[in-house]
Amino acid sequence: MQRSLPFTCLTTLTVTAGLVACGSGETARDDDHAAAPARTIGHVERLDPELDVIVPEGAVFEILAEGHEWTEGPVWVPWLRMLLYSDIPRNAIYRWEEGDSAVLWLRPSGYTGNAARGGEPGSNGLALAGRALVLAQHGDRRIARLETRLTDPGPVFTTITDRFEGQRYNSPNDLVVHGSGAIYFTDPPYGLEGGVDDPAKELPFQGVYRVATDGTVTLLEDGLSRPNGIAFSPDERILYVANSDGDQPVIMAYDVAENGSVSRGRVFAESWGDGMAVDREGRLFVTRGIDGVVVFAPDGRQLGTLVTTERTSNCAFGDDGSTLYVTSDMYLVRMRLTTIGAGFEPG
């Protein structure tokens, strides 16, 4: 995902309900004061009556954590009942659990080199492959798997793929795991310190790829200028890719064959897009900068917008599947919905 504007580094990470999580990952509880009501931001813009079926009247975003530099890549870990998300400039992943504060969970998360590095070094998109965490690592320019337990994390990574035909990726950005175990990912230049003009850039295009469980890498698309968010339809027969370029603002859809290849690329919606999540009925929740989260029906109709009031990077369903977690600039927020995310078991 893209961070389009500079942001000021904050020295502390604050959360709601009287808790504070310090940059070191330690937490402190304010026992002298009663828990404050949850702070909220945003509102809902409704364009189609179908949105009323899935977004309750009066819904707003609840702030769960703030004080980050730029949040990204939320992923719900169901067996541990926790949400993980990246703070890219801090080269870190944070953990949030209900009733507790957000804490530093892993650092470094995306750049493991010793030399100083600016720009966007950390992990971006996160996903689960079975019970393993896989990461799109900006700084190390690879897709990697975390080799330590999620209950006791440490920066020990195995490279899944870091090159296509001998050339290093730009900066893998977002990823999604297919039911076959194959990983589909996007590779724009956002993590390179000099962007598309960085002298370290080796590939002449920005690609969308598939890496099979045997490590074979296939280039699926090389015609998008800034491929970014990526998601499957609930039946995994359609792959969606958002292009975060104002000169080519589209969300693409591709048919997925049984062998994992894609075909019949077409414009699903003429819209700038960043991260994506999909509900059980095939609706797309697409983050779109300052707009927040734009909701599309499976036929491409725009149903409305969940406005965050801040630049918004990514989203993921969690809890029982009816909570949408959103990374938005310095915030982690959530909104309770009346739909269920794809892949969640019926309640």
In a domain, 53, yes or no: yes
In a domain, 3, yes or no: no
In a domain, 1, yes or no: no
pLDDT tens across the length of the chain (347 residues): 454 433 333 334 554 433 333 333 433 333 444 556 789 999 999 999 999 999 999 999 999 999 999 999 999 999 999 999 999 999 999 999 999 999 999 999 999 998 888 889 999 999 999 999 999 999 999 999 999 999 999 999 999 999 999 999 999 999 999 999 999 999 999 999 999 999 999 999 999 999 999 999 999 999 999 999 999 999 999 999 999 999 999 999 999 999 999 999 999 999 999 999 999 999 999 999 999 999 999 999 999 999 999 999 999 999 999 999 999 999 999 999 999 999 998 76
In a domain, 342, yes or no: no
Closest to 302 measured CA to CA, from 53, 2, 45, 55: 45
CB 40 within 8 A of CB 163: no
Closest to 133 measured CA to CA, from 125, 145, 142: 145
In this structure, what CATH number is given to the domain that contains residue 184? 2.120.10.30
**Could you tell me how many residues make up the chain?**
347
Residue 301 is part of which domain span?
12-336
Closest to 62 measured CA to CA, from 81, 87, 32, 36: 36
In a domain, 192, yes or no: yes
- Domain count of the fold of the chain: 1
In a domain, 112, yes or no: yes
In a domain, 186, yes or no: yes
